[in-house]
Amino acid sequence: MPEQLDPNKRKKQNRRIASAAILTALAVILMYLEIALPFMPPFLKFDFSEIPVLVGSFALGPAYGVIIELLKNLIHLPVSATSGIGELSNFLTGSIYVFSAGMIYNKIRTRKGAIISMLSATAALTLAAIPLNYFVTLPLYGSVLGFTTEGIVNMCLSVNSLIKDKWTLILWGFVPFNLFKGIAVAFVTFWIYKPISKLINKTYEQTKI
């Protein structure tokens, strides 16, 4: 006869699943509220959907953060304007960001640890996105949607004259965008995490963030 899960553990697990579902719904809603940023390539739109994902990674664990990130992009996939390429890129970079932050914060559960975790995650996101965009995202846009790198660069000339080729697109387009995204999400999360975490999981009420 299979061993039954302890009632307290089952209750805790159900609470985490319910919390993850709520955070996923919030992330999906925020994903629709995207805005264009000054001097950034027009196809790069900023939104705050990573905030609920990062909260989940902190409160529930980094694995939950990746799951929420995956669900968010899968739900958004049917309305994708990029044949899923944007969602794939968002999932990969978002997972790097929230998993890195969650792993570090899980070891240093203090205000200082939160700052270190989010700054480190922003650096990891920015650096990992360089080869990802160069070798995966941009080639996929060309092969799937027929957008050549030259065409994408031309789209950016009117907003940022520093973008002249593939490398400058990454250097002056993707890099500052990901830096801004990581820092903006971290700033908001830093101030809202404590009250939200108490609602999500009483286990974490003693956190010092």
Do the beta carbons of residue 19 and residue 200 sit within 8 Å?
yes
Residue 15 has pLDDT above 70, yes or no: yes
pLDDT digits (tens, 9 = 90+) for 150-191: 888 888 888 888 999 999 999 999 999 999 999 999 999 999
Residue 1 has pLDDT above 80, yes or no: no
Tell me the angle at which helices 50-60 and 62-76 cross, rounded to the nearest 10 degrees: 150
Cβ neighbours of 206 (radius 10 Å): 8
Residue 84 falls inside a structural domain: yes
Residue 39 falls inside a structural domain: yes
Q: What is the pLDDT of residue 87?
A: 94
pLDDT digits (tens, 9 = 90+) for 107-166: 998 999 999 999 999 999 999 999 999 999 999 988 888 888 888 888 888 888 899 999
Residue 91 falls inside a structural domain: yes
Q: What is the pLDDT of residue 206?
A: 42
What is the spatial distance between Cα 66 and Cα 40, in angstroms, rounded to a whole number? Answer: 27
Give φ, ψ of 45 to 5 degrees: -110, 135
Please give the tally of structural domains in the chain.
1
Residue 105 falls inside a structural domain: yes
Q: What is the pLDDT of residue 209?
A: 52
Q: What is the mean pLDDT of residues 63-76?
A: 97
pLDDT digits (tens, 9 = 90+) for 29-54: 999 999 988 888 888 899 999 999 99
Residue 159 falls inside a structural domain: no
CATH number at residue 62: 1.10.1760.20
Q: What is the pLDDT of residue 70?
A: 98
Tell me the angle at which helices 50-60 and 7-32 cross, rounded to the nearest 10 degrees: 160
Residue 2 falls inside a structural domain: no
For residue 67, the enclosing domain spans 7-128+179-204
pTM of the full predicted structure?
0.89
Do the beta carbons of residue 104 and residue 113 sit within 8 Å?
yes
Q: What is the pLDDT of residue 207?
A: 43
